[in-house]
A and B are shown apart, each in its own frame.
Chain A
Amino acid sequence: MRDVELKMKERASELLKSGEVARVIGWKKGEFYHDPQPASFESVEELNAFVYNGFCGANLSKYLIQMSKKEGKTAIFLKPCDSYSFNQLVKEHRIVRENIHVIAIECQGKLDIEKIKAKGFDFVTEVEENGDEIAVASLYGNGAVQKDEVLLGKCETCKGKVHQVKDEEIILHEMQAGKKNRFEEVEKLEAMTEDERFAFWREQLQKCIRCNACRNVCPACSCLKCVFDNPASGIAAKANDDKFEEQLFHIIRAFHVSGRCTDCGECSRVCPQNIPLHLLNRKFIKDIDGLYGEYQAGETAEGKTPLTSYTEGDAEPNDVVNGEVR
């Protein structure tokens, strides 16, 4: 990954120097090795802090909503999965395609620091990917872990390694798609009884502290002002002031992004309470695929979403819920 990082830095520097772009969006060093932060670099000097490593899981596309409005062109590094979000934002007129230079970058799957910690490595100082194995250096010693065991949840079911949009690319090694079926967990829940499902989600959702991290990170939750902050909507609420609202919030949020969610998995990644929020969105994706044909949001930047189109022979809601249509 080191070589990729160097190449990216070099390319960013070129673009800024030549004045082709006014800024580059990438990652900069965080407090620790394992928490690189999304950042906008406006000069070659600033690039000293530039990093790209196994912990750069963040989807940067959402930052473009603000950045692409600024004077001059913006360059952005997009991993394959981020490119879907990018297209979806273009489709919704949230970002201006012409103002953006997309650099497609290599991604070998990003890592979950919690999982690495659990393997006994605290205060990680560096990781290096060697195929299926990862060499970890930490303050408490060095060692190796199997990559499969420490991937971010969202990378375990990676949708693929093909960029849906790019102006240029920095891909030095072959990339591999995820091994897990992304609907496996959804199916497991579907196979449960209503009571079990209810118990599962009650357990999960009652952890919600309504920090809004999921909403803030979600590239589909790109509203200027959220419906939960809209007094005219009748559901405005700053926090979950009763037991109902945490459910309401997540149902409405999932419904609002249905047909638009690219399954980037950022919601679950950022949730401080580790609620598997992606399983909400994936249910919608699975149902849409089953009922209205395979649909991947962000595959293109044009066309209608499944919820803004219809066919005359669509399934009836009562039949769908009774399992007569799947």
Chain B
Amino acid sequence: MQRIGVFICWCGSNIAATVDVEKVAEVIKSEPGVVYSVNYQYMCSENGQQLIKNAIKEHNLTGIVVGACSPRMHEATFRKAAESVGLNPYMVEIANIREHCSWIHKDMAEATEKAIILVRTAIAKVKLNAPLTAGESPVVKRALVIGGGIAGIQAALDIADAGFEVDIVEKNATIGGRMAQLDKTFPTLDCSACILTPKMVDCAQHEKIDILSYSEIEDVKGFVGNFSVKIRRKARYVDETKCTGCKICMEKCPSKKGLNDFNMNLNTRPAIHIPFAQAIPNVAVIDPAQCIKLKTGKCGICQKFCGVGAIDYEQKDTFIERQYGAIVVATGFKPISLDAFNEYGYTENKDVITSLELERLMNAAGPSNGVLVRPSDGQHPKVITFIQCVGSRDTSGCGKPYCSKICCMYTAKHAMLIREKYPDTEVHVFYIDVRTPGKNYDEFFRRAVEQYGVDYIKGMVGKVYNENGKLMVQGSNLIDNEQVTIESDLVVLAAAIEPEPSVRKVATLLTASIDTNNFLTESHAKLRPVESPTAGVYLAGVCQGPKDIPETVSQASACAAKVIGLLVKDKLKTNPCVATPDEMMCNGCSQCANVCAYGAITYVDKEFRLGGGKTEVRRVASVNPAVCQGCGACTVTCPSGAMDLKGFSSKQIMSEVEAICKM
């Protein structure tokens, strides 16, 4: 006979304000099997947990139900408490009377009644719970970082410094990411390259870090502690081990008209190229869509001039497969396409540019060697108008509903830098709100206004049109309740940012959850902000949500700390809630193995006693508990019900159904 204890939490007023917790505890007392029922302000507190522990000991409880917040919140807490006094942690069930009850219902009688039903349901389940013991699985002491931007670089360096092997998989020919394209960084205005490139070099020189540039992940198998990842090493047509980065090929290549994507297509580059001077690895790559040799078979000039014989037109994509204990996703972002915003004339006017393009125009290594000129005629612009929130905070369907977070700060930076370098330039900024939370951020923005005289106009631009070679920017000045038209030479759009689209594929491969905006979902917004709900997968940088460099670096280091915490363990406890076949019922029909996504089910021939001294050899299913993730797909496929799931057995769910249906 089970001896069940029930603990109803007030959660301060979170539950107690709408659920009559005393009544719940009182009513539940008379449930069959319940020997103890109590309510308390904060069950998760030290005192609350002590109360549970004491009750378990005092009343010799065989199972407990905690009516509190979501099990996703404190199930682990209460399980630990139970375990500390010798009750198997899997004899704990949570009735979610906060998120699923008190927080969504207003009527006390109704909420109380529902809470009672939810607690009864949990009691019905716990009565059928069986003690479970977690198994163990080994941990591969190597981490994978997907994406070689500042987030990936920082995470890799931190993990490697702790003594673990790290591979960085970067889809481009060089690591560095978006930060490598930036000119200066806010709020300190240091040069982006000056702070980034040393870190890139550190990565390259670190004995524990292996940079797999120009590579993408193809397939992921396994689970936390033991991922097996197939990586595609795209053909770069240059032998990475031989190329010295001398750039003679770039000089000699006759096909020089390729758009330079590193410079946001503002100028051109040869078919064989090194993306930028400080690229890591400092190895050339051939754009097969542009290379004459690869397209027509005729040319081969770079091969002739290459002193080390690094050019290999025959190179093919290769695949490597490696094992990892943990994976950091740091796939970064891109500015959104502005095709849907014809009011700003981005596609029609060369002198309407995005902020990232402006970064390149202002960068000393950029297409204009750092001299700010208009793309159309190379003239120095005298009036520059910035437009903020282009596609951000847009619920009309053209843009993104969220705030891109970085635009207010970088626009202030651009305005300031322009006014500093070219004091004769007039700078206007149309804004909806200026958002500058962050250390020294608002001070930075105010400097742009007060010290540099940047003209901030509260209001949005309705249209940008061309008149006599001038860009007319027509918008609101809401403070003065005016409509203004500013004759500008250059218009800079603060385009919204979105996650790099390839993250969708990565998320699918990793079975990491992803939201409607393609941002990867963290396990808990506040308490587990760098972890994906998929165990062993961690999130750094904009793939998780819009953020600036300081935040990205912090998040990357946080990821590294989590990864290190995982990799130092030799073994991981596995989820004991796994599928288990009843061999006496199993037909050996193979249907369960057909639906198992993890290949956890195999078949063995086993001898069974038939009685009367006779035996029979039958084919029966066998589940590898280290591989099984406990989804239960097999249990429904099994026609005889031989396959069941520990912790969520058919009988348990059936009795929950029964209890929950009783009004």
Contacts and interface: CB of A to CB of B under 8 A. Distances in A.
Contacts of A223: 585, 587, 639-640
Contacts of B630: none
B585 A224 contact: yes
B637 A307 contact: yes
A304 B594 contact: yes
A224 B586 contact: yes
A36 to B, nearest CB: 29
Interface in B577-634: 582, 584-591, 594-595, 603, 616, 618-619
Nearest to A88: B589
Contacts of B618: 224
Contact of B641 (A227, A305, A307, A309): A227
A326 interface: no
Contacts, number: 66
B582 A232 contact: yes
B204 interface: no
Contact of A69 (B588, B616, B641, B649): B616
Contact of A92 (B582, B584, B590, B649): B590
Interface in A223-265: 223-227, 230, 232-235, 256-257
A225 B585 contact: yes
B594 A94 contact: no
B160 interface: no
Contacts of A230: 582, 585, 640-642
B651 A234 contact: yes
Interface residues of A, number: 24
A308 interface: yes
A24 B352 CA distance: 87
Contacts of B49: none
Interface string A298-309: 000000110111
Contacts of B134: none
B589 A93 contact: yes
B179 interface: no
A93 B650 CA distance: 25
B653 interface: yes
B351 interface: no
Given A304-B594, A308-B594, A308-B595, A233 B641 contact: yes
Contacts of B640: 223-227, 230
Nearest to B638: A227
A232 B637 contact: no
Interface string A209-225: 00000000000011111
A232 B591 contact: no
B76 interface: no
A87 to B, nearest CB: 14
Nearest to A236: B641
A256 B616 contact: no
B654 interface: yes
Which of B589, B603, B650 is most buried by chain A, counting CB atoms within 10 A of its CB?
A: B589
Which of A92, A94, A234, A309 is most buried by chain B, counting CB atoms within 10 A of its CB?
A: A234
A309 B655 CA distance: 30
A227 B639 CA distance: 7
A234 B650 contact: yes
B594 A232 contact: no
Contact of A232 (B586, B590, B650): B650
Nearest to B616: A69
Nearest to A234: B654
In order of increasing CB-CB distance, the 6 nearest A-B pairs are: A234-B654, A233-B641, A308-B594, A92-B589, A223-B640, A227-B641
Given A224-B618, A226-B640, 5 more contacts: A223-B639, A224-B585, A225-B584, A230-B585, A233-B651
